[in-house]
Structure 1
Amino acid sequence: MKKYLIIFSLLLLAGCSKVEDLQNDPNRATQVSPDLLLTTIETTAFNNVSLNAALASRQLTFTDGTNQYQYYNWQRAGFGQYDDLKQVYKMIQESQRTDSQVYQILAKFFNAYYAIELTRVFGDVPYTEAVGAEIGIYTPSYDRQELIYASALDSLRAAGLELAQNTETIRGDVIYEGNKKQWQKLINSYSLRVLMSLSNKVDQTDIDIVGRFNEILNNFDQFPIFESNSDNASLVYVDIQDNRYPLFNDNSLQTAYYMEQTFVERLQNYEDPRLFMMADKKPNASNLNVEDFSAYGGLYGSAPLSDNGSKAVSGEASRIKPRYYNNPVNEPSILMSYAELQFTLAEAAARGWISEPSEPYYKSGIAASLAFYGISEAEDYLNNPTIQLNSNEDLESILTQKHIALFLNTGWQSFYDQRRTGFPEFNVDGGGILNNGLIPKRFMYPQNESINNPENLNEAINRQFPSGDNINASMWLID
């Protein structure tokens, strides 16, 4: 019996050896250079074209069913961006392996970016222990939103300052082609966005929001910011497979989406030439000139689906401009633009955070948006009485123009601005609206967290939301 056991053991060891030989395939890569990881991370982070956000932000409507984003009845979102954070963590590891500091610096920006993206969706989320599986942390704790913002702002500040001192070459950069000055501008401009998102917390947090804002704005040499559209944080598409505009050949966009009525009416009232770049003429206006504002129409975002369907069939609604689905390049996707920065500075002036008047920033933001759409004759529009600020504190006009400028771009930024300020007003008075006529304030946590990480999840819910995990609960950011 012992003899057979010995023979069996030897055969088993031999078999294990062969399996290990197969696992250690010399032709399979086990390491990847940080520049390749940077390219992957960039193309994910800068891809901010979202039809769902456009529906929630009352820019588009949908007619092939009761869409949860249009009618404000969404429920849960996912933690998919933690996969993106894992890529950032991998880039850090590989840059350490190759003794390259510059990718670790850029990782600070991307870590902050994804942390902010996640927390403004849900509220408190895992952050400090978010990607700790490699060191045995499979059930990460949830960090408080205030601490996430404070940590992200510190990381952004450090990244900008460290990048200015770094002498390495950035390879694999499809956004700025290795231009560190432009990366500094993005980091600091994005920091101003993050600080403005805390506008409701100026007197309720230890974060020196206004002080940090002015530190950046008043020290351009140390903290450079965007100076023109050429600094836009843009992902430029090319006509190559997997690199085309994400809505290219989207059949649903061609058949089921229409412009939203209040958005179209706003552009008509302003006689805003951007309407001609965003929308197609409504079918029953074929005899009208393309630059006739009356040739356009939309569907009311909160109206019953049947009403919108009938109006669309009757030819009263404009579809989106065909370039959005038939041009493989179309326009760049933007993480943050110079126009957005100018509106942020205009809002800061309106709030009294900075001493300058808001109008120059406001007009500069509009001009930058017009230039983005290739509209060179901006003077007439900028002098239009309907778009002038009513006062230096006119937040509504500033946020409304910002909402127009971010049409179908920059992800959910327009929605989050409206959630924070109430401007522009999103209609909820139509007969089709769900969620008791309320605009949701957040998304519920993923269902699998209640299975995989219930203790930490429940602790986070209980400390934030007395009424439980629901879409109308107010997170710290907007409470």
Structure 2
Amino acid sequence: MKKIKSIVYFILCAMISGCSNFDHLNTNPNTVETATSSLLATSVILDIVSPDGYAANFIQDACLAKQMIWLEYLHDYNYNVLGRASFSGYTMLINADKMKELAKEEYKDAYEALALFAKSYKLFYLSMQVGDIPLSDALQGESNNTKPRYDSQEEVMKTILDDLETASRLFSLANSFDGDPVFQGDVSKWEKVTNTFRLKVLMYLSKKENDPGLNSKERFARIFNNEPLMESNKDNLQLVFSDKSGQLYPYNKATSKHHVYATISSIVIDTLKAYNDYRLFYFAQPAKTMTEKGLQPDNADAYIGLDPVADFSDIKSEYAKGAYSAINLRYTDIPAGEPYTRVGYAEQCFILAEAILRGCINGNATEYYNAGIKASMTFIAENTPDDEMYHHGKIITEDYIDTYLNSEPVILKGDTEHKIKQIIVQKYLTYYMQYPFDAYYEYRRTGYPVLPINPLTNRNAEKDKIPVRWMYPTKEFDYNKENVDNAVASQYEGIDNNNKIMWILK
């Protein structure tokens, strides 16, 4: 078997130990010299689907999107400090290339498709953070190109869309493969995920829908009309946890004692109340101050969301009094928690609803909007034990969902912009404790939901704005200065800060 160079041995070991402690990854480090495509596939897939950490790290994206507040200390993301991005994600791409290189002939299509999907997924979200990134010259260290030039964000997005199209085609031709902890090598599932992600990328390019070089509407319609898409939550790209050691839900109290510092914002709580949305009772616990007044856990008025932009000392004061809603015990007490979704059916439905409103495809926007809500609620109900401590007597049933969909605040209505707002608000609720950073990116793209900004507490340099990007890593200025300087000059007039507008947002 072809040997992997020593630098890749190190990366593989580091990634395996860093991504997960799942039993099937507890391999002898002495066997890394005989790494196979299947072993590398496990590492690559877990790198995509695994959470970024525990406690505050697990909910940091929710803090940025003003869904949650971290109370142990003043969290940067709660108060709009983005800082600098990291390019560490490139290391996974080395493993993806080696996975493809080592594949036996009968599995080449599958592993090449997976490599293209993984590369596209990683580089998409990295570009969403900063703008232009190295792509054409990236991963050429073995050829002594250690200072890659930056491709424009437009070039990156075009390459991602082309690579995802190729990945979809290869998955359609491929045999099932080993080393897949999510779909057990079912290439039909991966084909659906890839096509759904293609639609997701195109929707994030909505401001460029008239760009002739992208042809985004035509691409979207072609995928929708000709390619297999997700059909239910069973097709979700998600990581499922268990009660086994090393496989616990990342917010389970056995993994971290810091879970007590998470509380839910008024944005989430008040929106759920306004919709008479039973997800309130699955997301949160009643506030101590309200139950002491005699309110029952099945009463929505017993739930209090804290103002995510209030002065931190005022928030801490409310916390000390018990005048807040903590996260539901199902996140902390149930070992398996709920699956952690990266690309999902509910999200796909909302994307299709918006695409119809934007004229990308033909169809009934209301049907997809309703299907997205139903999928979101069903996901929560099916991953929650039937116990009052987890749903507080407000059980999400099919009858309840039907009533909810026909309620006045929820019915899709009004002009196109109002309907898009309704869709994005429902995505925002679906993204709660899921889909890391997508709630923030959707706000950045659409302005919905309208998030509060308090100039007195906002730590962003521009006090009336939420920042729109991360700055480039310091290491790039240390080791690839000429190329990163050129990227900053071409995009941001030579100023690398958190408020400059990247191409995708113009």
Normalised to the residue count of structure 2, the TM-score between the two structures is 0.86
Q: Name which of 160, 181, 202 aligns with 2:209.
A: 202
Contact 1:300 1:430 in 2 (8 A): no
Matched, 1:454 2:481: yes
Contact 1:48 1:334 in 2 (8 A): no
Letter in 2 for 1:192: L
Deviation at 1:96, TM superposition (A): 6.2
- Alignment partner, residue 303 of structure 1: 310
Contact 1:350 1:392 in 2 (8 A): no
What pairs up with 1:60-459 in 2 under 5 angstroms?
Answer: 60-95=68-103, 100-166=108-174, 168-219=175-226, 223-249=227-253, 251=256, 253-286=258-291, 287-374=294-381, 375-376=396-397, 377-391=400-414, 393=416, 394-429=419-454, 431-435=456-460, 436-459=463-486
Matched, 1:46 2:58: no
Deviation at 1:253, TM superposition (A): 4.5
Contact 2:109 2:173 in 1 (8 A): no
**Structure 1 alignment gaps of length 5 or more:** 1-25
Deviation string 1:360-399 (CA, Å, 9 cap, x unpaired) is 1111100000100113231111111111122362111010
Deviation at 1:284, TM superposition (A): 1.3
Contact 2:112 2:170 in 1 (8 A): no
3-state DSSP class of the match of 2:342? strand
Write the distance in 2 (CA, Å) between the matches of 1:135 and 1:106: 24
Normalised to the residue count of structure 1, the TM-score between the two structures is 0.90
3-state DSSP class of the match of 1:437? coil
3-state DSSP class of the match of 1:378? helix
Deviation at 1:247, TM superposition (A): 1.9
Write the distance in 1 (CA, Å) between the matches of 2:329 and 2:271: 21
- Alignment partner, residue 34 of structure 2: 31
Deviation at 1:74, TM superposition (A): 2.1
Contact 1:72 1:434 in 2 (8 A): yes
Deviation at 1:350, TM superposition (A): 1.5
Write the distance in 2 (CA, Å) between the matches of 1:226 and 1:350: 20
Write the distance in 2 (CA, Å) between the matches of 1:97 and 1:360: 43
Contact 1:46 1:333 in 2 (8 A): yes
Contact 1:302 1:430 in 2 (8 A): no
Deviation string 1:171-210 (CA, Å, 9 cap, x unpaired) is 1111111211111110101100000010001123501100
Contact 1:53 1:412 in 2 (8 A): yes
Contact 1:443 1:470 in 2 (8 A): yes
Letter in 2 for 1:112: S
Bigger mean CA deviation after superposition, 271-280 or 428-437: 428-437
Deviation string 1:79-122 (CA, Å, 9 cap, x unpaired) is 11112222212212222699733211211111111110110011
Letter in 2 for 1:308: I
Write the distance in 1 (CA, Å) between the matches of 2:443 and 2:135: 26
Contact 2:51 2:250 in 1 (8 A): no
Write the distance in 2 (CA, Å) between the matches of 1:253 and 1:179: 37
Q: How many residues align?
A: 450
Contact 2:110 2:187 in 1 (8 A): no
Contact 1:236 1:333 in 2 (8 A): yes
3-state DSSP class of the match of 2:34? coil
Assess, with a 3 A threshold, how the Cα gap between structure 1 residues 408 and 256 changes in structure 2: closer, same or farther: same
Deviation string 1:145-186 (CA, Å, 9 cap, x unpaired) is 1111111111111111122122x3311111111211111110
Write the distance in 2 (CA, Å) between the matches of 1:402 and 1:169: 32
Letter in 1 for 2:266: Q
Identity %: 31
3-state DSSP class of the match of 1:387? coil
Letter in 1 for 2:94: K
Letter in 2 for 1:110: A
**Structure 2 alignment gaps of length 5 or more:** 1-28, 53-57, 382-395
CA RMSD of aligned residues (A): 1.8
Letter in 1 for 2:223: I
Write the distance in 2 (CA, Å) between the matches of 1:409 and 1:356: 28
Assess, with a 3 A threshold, how the Cα gap between structure 1 residues 205 and 124 changes in structure 2: closer, same or farther: farther
Contact 1:267 1:275 in 2 (8 A): yes
Letter in 2 for 1:158: T
Write the distance in 2 (CA, Å) between the matches of 1:29 and 1:190: 32
Deviation at 1:289, TM superposition (A): 2.3
- Alignment partner, residue 9 of structure 2: none
- Alignment partner, residue 15 of structure 1: none
Assess, with a 3 A threshold, how the Cα gap between structure 1 residues 55 and 327 changes in structure 2: closer, same or farther: same
Write the distance in 1 (CA, Å) between the matches of 2:104 and 2:126: 26
Write the distance in 2 (CA, Å) between the matches of 1:361 and 1:28: 48
Q: State the 4+ residue runs in structure 1 displaced beyond 3 angstroms.
A: 26-29, 96-101, 250-253
Write the distance in 2 (CA, Å) between the matches of 1:329 and 1:247: 10
Write the distance in 2 (CA, Å) between the matches of 1:471 and 1:398: 27
Write the distance in 2 (CA, Å) between the matches of 1:186 and 1:27: 34
Deviation string 1:220-244 (CA, Å, 9 cap, x unpaired) is xxx1001111111111112233322
- Alignment partner, residue 504 of structure 2: 477
Write the distance in 1 (CA, Å) between the matches of 2:145 and 2:451: 42
